[in-house]
Amino acid sequence: MSVTGTVEPVHGDEARMSFIEHLAELRLRLRNAAIIFLVVMCVSFVFVKKYFAIIVRPACKAWEVALHGTKPQFHFSGPTEPFWVYTKLAMYGALIISSPLIFWEVWKFIAPGLYKKEKRMALGVTIATALCFIGGALFGYFVLCTPALTYMLSFAEDMGTFQIQPTIMMDEVVGFMTAMLLGTGAAFELPVIMGVLGWLGLVKAKQLWKFNKYALILSTVVGGILTPGPDVLSQVLMAGPLFLLYNVSILIVWLIERGARERLARLAKETGADLVPTKDD
């Protein structure tokens, strides 16, 4: 209640909604998101061959290097395999293209129940999550995939009396590329996760710095888990950025802690209370 005696709304200008109204709103938003996805997926079927050409481009480059300029060949084991591969690519493409519109529908359902500060926080975390994932997927596509596939395809050779040649299926190459891009995208979420944990006070920059020497070993292990290939090169190429991202996370947590100390210092100056935490807090 304000000083004039009028009742102020709890969450901005939005009035409270009943449970049934919330369910109706949720159903509306989910219906809109489903319609958007299905429409974009139908349109994506027109471009699935282009999607396939884009996603196998690193494999084509690796093939030409490892097999000395021969033309890449991708096979299918049954008559339905190309259809299902193209269907999966249409779904992936639709999910990527429609994700901003789907998020907007979800946001319109969630936003009325949030304060302005919570809205800024949620938007910031969402944007940072999306950018880090896209950056990780691009890193995997342009930096990691071609060297990893070149190494694995290099086992093809002429043994004199016989030849060792690869027979790569359409589903296998799409599955490998999808796993690689998802793995690198997820790995690049480390700064966002650490930033949120730091904002919640669950981790401290000093603690993370003390763990730095073990983070290098852990980055190597995680790099081996996230990269679907068995080669050492792809694991090293993944472990290096992971270790760098861990140190970036330390810097982000330190900046969050410094900002919190500065806010407490200003509040203490205004109120005259001792609110500034010590270095050990």
The Cα–Cα gap between 97 and 102 comes to 10
Give me 270's structure tokens.
């205004």
Predicted confidence (pLDDT) at residue 7 exceeds the cutoff of 90: no
Contact status, residue 250 vs residue 209, Cβ threshold 8 Å: yes
Helix axes 81-110, 19-44, angle to 10 degrees: 150
pTM recorded for the entire structure: 0.80
pLDDT in tens, 212-253: 888 888 888 877 776 655 666 677 778 888 899 999 999 999
pLDDT at 178: 94
pLDDT in tens, 138-155: 999 998 889 888 888 988
DSSP class per residue in the chain: --TTSPPPPSBTTBPP--HHHHHHHHHHHHHHHHHHHHHHHHHHGGGHHHHHHHHTHHHHHHHHHHTTTPPP-EE-SSTTHHHHHHHHHHHHHHHHHHHHHHHHHHHHHHGGGS-HHHHHHHHHHHHHHHHHHHHHHHHIIIIIHHHHHHHHHTT-EE-SSSEE---EEHHHHHHHHHHHHHHHHHHTTHHHHHHHHHHTTSS-HHHHHHTHHHHHHHHHHHHHHH--S--HHHHHHHHHHHHHHHHHHHHHHHHHHHHHHHHHHHHHHHH----PPPTT-
Mean pLDDT value of segment 247-267: 88
pLDDT band at 12 (very low <50, low <70, confident <90, very high): very low
